[in-house]
Amino acid sequence: MRILITGGAGFLGSHLCERLLKEGHEVICLDNFFTGRKKNVVHLLKNPDFELVRHDVTNPFHFEVDQIYNLACPASPPHYQHNPIKTTKTSFLGAMHSLGLAKRVGARVFQASTSEVYGDPEVHPQPETYKGCVNPIGIRSCYDEGKRVAETLFFDYHRQHGTEIRVVRIFNTYGPNMLPDDGRVVSNFIVQALQGKDLTIYGDGTQTRSFCYVDDLIEGFVRLMNHPTLQGPVNIGNPGEFTMLQLAEMVLKKVGGPSKITFHPLPGDDPKQRRPDITLASKELGWQPQVTLEQGLEPTIEYFRKLVKG
């Protein structure tokens, strides 16, 4: 197939490009390089089935393709809060232009949504039926509400135009190709430990997250995209739940060095807990995460070790 990936040079997009090329597809990688990096995909340029296009999804795009993965959007708080208006526009217009293209060429289109649509959840773990507890005017709203309206648009295109859609809700994911300064907790802790700095915990460290290794997530993407009928939304994430303190201690144990743990005030609207209910993914896609946090931290630390040394 001929497949378009918006945000294809980003953390998740670059792994998806590799996976789809290995399966023998033609891949068009679209990225404006705000948080994506050319070096994530430069090794793919020698593959005749790979094409890299610099483009911002807030502007329309036109390709003849069979499938579209819409992954374009900054996903870490420092990056999406850097220009919140642009973040909202990227979520909405990126979805609209992906759907418009899918409608025109008859492609199936995939939306990378997020567990942030659940906000600071009052239901735990979070099933897809939970409608969320989101602040529409907070400092994280540009991302949370941007992704929520993108889901709205996807299902309205499906109902109104019969567009073939797939919607995934991504829970915290980590692995190689993350940006060292992206502000997400796994990369923060690893880079701080490798540099011998103290690890920064916001709040008292009891808030929890569930961490999915990137290879497991991409497997879930591909299974959902190629499912004959399931539209979603589908939670994809690892239900293993860890406090920030547990994660920090695990990273310190693996990296070693003089770093200690320090505590700082919690940012606004930061969720206290987050864990996916993956019953639907397990039942309909036969998907379960295979990589434990302990296992996945090893290649992630090695990736960052090379970056920090370089």
Nearest Cα neighbor of 81 from 269, 273, 272, 210 is: 269
Please, are residues 12 and 214 in contact by the beta-carbon 8 Å criterion?
yes
Phi, then psi, of 215 in degrees rounded to 5: -65, -40
Please, are residues 23 and 63 in contact by the beta-carbon 8 Å criterion?
no
- Whole-angstrom CA distances from 14 to 52, 71, 141, 218 are 11, 10, 26, 10
Given the residues 69, 143, 174, 213, select the one marked as catalytic: 143
The sign of the dihedral angle between the CA atoms of 50, 108, 155, 237 is negative
Largest distance between two CA atoms of the chain: 59
For residue 256, the number of C-alpha atoms closer than 13 Å in the C-beta half-sphere is 1
The beta-strand segments (E) located in 48-177 are 50-54, 67-70, 108-114, 165-170, 173-174
Phi, then psi, of 305 in degrees rounded to 5: -60, -40
Please say if 143 is a catalytic residue: yes
Please, are residues 143 and 83 in contact by the beta-carbon 8 Å criterion?
no
d(CA 137, CA 287): 35
Q: What end-to-end distance do the CA atoms of the chain give, in Å?
A: 37
Residues annotated catalytic, as ranges: 143
